[in-house]
Amino acid sequence: MHLFIVVIGLLASILLIGVILLQSPKSGSGLTGGMASLGTVQTLGVRRTGDFLSKTTAILAAVVMGLCFIAQFTLPGKQSDKAASESILQRNVPVQPAAPANTIPSAPSLPAVPAK
């Protein structure tokens, strides 16, 4: 299940990259200028092509975010014991003996002052 979600997420992200590249920037030059020869401008019109690409971008972005969220919860091999919560580095560290509780050196005692 996890692998299926990851593959669908990758395909959706590749489609999202393609749709973003097809959008025309503010300057007017972009990959949509070359789409006129493909017949999309005559079919949809320039304005409708931009609206279609904007809506497709929003939908694909939502799909990619949703699939990433779902993929996190379908990770295989989740365990609830303490060993699973430790990282690999924590498991491979040799155990060192605990330091003694009284490691602070005591203050030197002052000499007694004779009473008058």
Identify whether 66 is part of a domain: yes
Q: How far is CA 109 from the centre of its chain?
A: 59
Identify whether 61 is part of a domain: yes
H or E stretch including 37? none
Q: What are residue 48's phi and psi, to 5 degrees?
A: -70, -30
Q: Residue type at 59?
A: I
Mean of all residue pLDDT scores within the chain: 75
**pLDDT number for residue 87:** 74
**pLDDT number for residue 34:** 55
Structural domain tally of the chain? 1
Is residue 70 a contact partner of residue 5, using CB atoms and an 8 Å limit?
yes
Mean pLDDT of 70-94: 71
Q: Is the pLDDT of residue 1 over 60?
A: yes
Identify whether 108 is part of a domain: no
SS3 for 28-75, per residue? CCCHHHHHHHHCHHHHHCHHHHHHHHHHHHHHHHHHHHHHHHHHHHCC
Is residue 42 a contact partner of residue 56, using CB atoms and an 8 Å limit?
no
Rg of the Cα atoms in the chain: 32
Identify whether 105 is part of a domain: no
Identify whether 60 is part of a domain: yes
Identify whether 65 is part of a domain: yes
Structural domain range at position 60: 46-72
Identify whether 67 is part of a domain: yes
pLDDT 10s digits, 40-55: 555 555 557 778 888 9
Identify whether 83 is part of a domain: no
Q: Is the pLDDT of residue 24 over 60?
A: yes
